[in-house]
Structure 1
Amino acid sequence: MASAPDAPTPELLPLTAIRGLAAWWVVLFHLRHLIAPSAPGWVIAVLAQGNLAVDLFFILSGFVMALNYGDRVAGGGWRGYGDFLFRRFARIYPLHLLILLGFAAYALAAVRFGDASIETQNWGYFWESVLLLQNWGFSSATAWNVPAWSISTEAFAYLLFPALLVLLMPKLRPLWLLAGVVLLPGLSVQPFFWLLDYPFPNAVAQTGLFRCVVQFAMGMALYGLWLRLPRQRWVPPLAIAAAALLALAFIFWNAPTAPLAWAALILGLALLPRARLLEAPGLVWLGRISYATYLSHYLLLTLFKFFLVTAGEAVSPARLALYLIAVLAASAVLYHGFERPAQAWLLGWWKRRARQRPVLAPAE
């Protein structure tokens, strides 16, 4: 899951807010086994679907990248492509590396003070994670900061971004073709899992790259639809109603419609002229810190289980609340104290470097 874009494009606040809510769905998905003894069954059933939020992230990322960088990458040549990649690196990598080093510190502490050994740690996966290659098909299972598998696949999608722009041309293709690019790939995601006999949306080491690239492309096509659909009052409610129907088809009949439900929801929210609830400052702030929430919560859960959870014993609601408060506090501190300052420093260095780059004189 990547965060909000770097460019000063007007922010679509409902999309920021929905990203924050989706990040917390992932947090509760990973916490659900500890919540289960004290929560109704239907609550656990909802939380057990929290990994579907990653599909929202992929589609939303394609939409946002096309919105913020499509013109600059399409018209900027190799230099525009390089600028795009560095900006994405500055956005996603510093915090990813910091959390990964936190996991390494935990692993080394387990070796030094516990009964773990260096040999039992999957250091190959660690170094793949350092390079953001961990979910490119080199490993058969996830390890270390498990949620970061999606950051790895998004890095792959960023590399493909110019080629996808040329192929999709979201500003130029007719609406019917863009709709087909959303519809047909969206319907292909779950059958891909069925074909390989994997339960959707699991087996991320084997399926994550396909799942990301296809839905990232869907998001780019969705941007083209958003640009040219009429701004009539009936269009957003229609898209949101379609999202609800597609979600119900997935829930009750296992129809392959989950990606399309997310696409319709994103389109409806992006077209809304005003969404008071999803533009509330608190929800928007949750969206802005959602990358820190997504990346840090699994390390905090690991520490929480080590210090405050005893195997075979139920975890009290007070302790669960303590964990959730810790995730929120850590997200805020990491976002304001590290993520944004690191990004600003890297982009400042990049701009200074660009100013110092010599300009070649035209050939005579």
Structure 2
Amino acid sequence: MTIAASAPKPTIYHAFAVWRFVAALIVMMYHFVHLSDDWRIWVPWLENMMPLLDLFFMVSGFLIYERYRHQLGNLKSFGTFLYKRLARLYPLHLITTTFFVLLGLGWEAGLIRAENGPYLFDWSALPANLLLLQAWGTTEWLSFNFPSWSLSAEWLCYLLMPLVVFIAARNGIPGLIFGAVIAYLLALFVIAQGWSAAQSIAEMKSWGALRGLGSFFIGAALVRFVEISTFRMRSHLVGQFAMGITVWLMFQPVAYGYILAALGGTLWLAALAERDNPDGMAWLRPGLPLFAVSFGIYLWHPILEAFFLKGVWRIIEPIVDFRIDWLFIPAALGTIIVALVSHALLEKPTGDWLIDRLRGRKTRHALAARTALMEGGR
């Protein structure tokens, strides 16, 4: 009798989860403080940390490549991969975009005020938003649920995932780094041609897919770096210290490339520690359900901003004696709560249902094929 070997237990990257969660909070507060009386102080200060958006793409490249690189052997498996990614991400995108569509209809009807209405509710850009093309240079500015540009960038990375796997198999780490360089050079070319309003790669959003692709390639390369690293790294504090240094660099007059390299090195150190000491951050595991909603915070916060900071504030402003800044914390807490509820009651159940439909169809096809084979043998 043979006993089937159990599948290896997947690595839990605690630091990645925490850093993505904190980065989502920083992006949320960055958008909130645009409404503050002191926005001239807070907006430029927080803009120093905008390279943390590249952290999202690097972590995504790392986790997606590590998990799926051996599962994309043919067109069918690639289609399954894309379906599963859409099942996890698109439902929330559709719901939050629909909210802004309804808001736009209210603005068109004169029921609500929106100083940036012509840009936020750019109906010509709605198809690109729904098709996740808004960060591919198809729109002049961001519209509707504007942070979803990063989801559009992710979608390009998913579509090019077979290319990432092919380059990694043929050329290894040098090939992946070369892919990142090409993506960043294309981004610089777009800026030089004046096709993007951004003055640097770190500012790119409507062409942010190129920026995201470059960081995605780096994330995939880090998987290979971890695999070839022979020395042991048991301390998780090293990675945390490296992240502190990286954030400090963001406030210094250093080139964007150095910050990307620092982010990559930080993720590499953290991944080594997870490999060599997987229980070293086990104390964070009770918080993983909270850290897992960074995507929800990212997409929900503009809606909570519209409700708290533009809706409620306009009602209470004439009768209260405090600044709008006092509403930032309730808006942030509300966003986190909505993201948690949304993940538990909407995103995960919907994603599971969609994936179960795919599995059920595969099972039915397999049973039909088996039945046909048996009947043919009679």
Same fold (TM over 0.5): yes
CA displacement, residues 113-172 of structure 1 (integer Å, 9 cap, x when unaligned)? 52679x954222122111111222211111000000110111111110001110122xx7
- Which residue of the partner structure matches residue 59 of structure 1? 58
- Which residue of the partner structure matches residue 25 of structure 2? 24
**C-alpha distance in 1, partners of 2:263/2:282?**
16
Deviation at 1:192, TM superposition (A): 5.9
- Which residue of the partner structure matches residue 332 of structure 2? 324
**C-alpha distance in 2, partners of 1:115/1:325?**
25
CA displacement, residues 6-61 of structure 1 (integer Å, 9 cap, x when unaligned)? x9833222212211111111111111233563x995x6554233432221111111
* Alignment-mate amino acid for residue 315 of structure 1: R
- Which residue of the partner structure matches residue 10 of structure 1? 11
**Is residue 13–residue 279 contact of structure 1 (8 Å, CA) maintained in 2?**
no
**C-alpha distance in 1, partners of 2:112/2:327?**
26
C-alpha spacing 1:153/1:245, structure 2 compared with 1 (3 Å): same
* Alignment-mate amino acid for residue 48 of structure 1: E
**Is residue 176–residue 220 contact of structure 2 (8 Å, CA) maintained in 1?**
no
Q: Which moved more, 1:254-263 or 1:16-25?
A: 254-263
Is 1:86 matched up with 2:83?
Answer: yes
- Which residue of the partner structure matches residue 3 of structure 2? none
CA-atom RMSD in angstroms: 3.6
Q: Which has the larger radius of gyration?
A: 2
C-alpha spacing 1:134/1:280, structure 2 compared with 1 (3 Å): same
Deviation at 1:280, TM superposition (A): 1.8
**C-alpha distance in 2, partners of 1:314/1:185?**
50
From 308, 313, 318, the equivalent of 2:312 is 308
**Is residue 11–residue 278 contact of structure 2 (8 Å, CA) maintained in 1?**
no
C-alpha spacing 1:254/1:11, structure 2 compared with 1 (3 Å): same
- Secondary structure of the corresponding residue to residue 133 of structure 1: coil
**Identical residues among aligned pairs (%):** 21
Structure 1, unaligned stretches of length 5 or more?
Answer: 1-6
* Alignment-mate amino acid for residue 18 of structure 1: W
C-alpha spacing 1:164/1:330, structure 2 compared with 1 (3 Å): same
**C-alpha distance in 2, partners of 1:355/1:69?**
21
- Which residue of the partner structure matches residue 135 of structure 1? 135
Correspondence 1:178-257 to 2 at 5 A: 180-181=177-178, 195=192, 198-200=198-200, 201-205=202-206, 207-233=207-233, 248-256=248-256, 257=258
Deviation at 1:112, TM superposition (A): 3.8
C-alpha spacing 1:240/1:116, structure 2 compared with 1 (3 Å): closer
Is 1:350 matched up with 2:368?
Answer: no
C-alpha spacing 1:294/1:69, structure 2 compared with 1 (3 Å): same
Deviation at 1:285, TM superposition (A): 2.7
C-alpha spacing 1:26/1:278, structure 2 compared with 1 (3 Å): farther
Structure 2, unaligned stretches of length 5 or more?
Answer: 1-7, 374-378
**Is residue 236–residue 280 contact of structure 2 (8 Å, CA) maintained in 1?**
no
* Alignment-mate amino acid for residue 265 of structure 2: A
**C-alpha distance in 2, partners of 1:81/1:17?**
30
- Which residue of the partner structure matches residue 271 of structure 1? 272
Q: Which moved more, 1:349-358 or 1:322-331?
A: 349-358
C-alpha spacing 1:96/1:8, structure 2 compared with 1 (3 Å): farther
* Equivalent pairs, count: 347
- Which residue of the partner structure matches residue 108 of structure 2? 111
- Secondary structure of the corresponding residue to residue 309 of structure 1: helix
- Which residue of the partner structure matches residue 4 of structure 2? none
Deviation at 1:70, TM superposition (A): 0.7
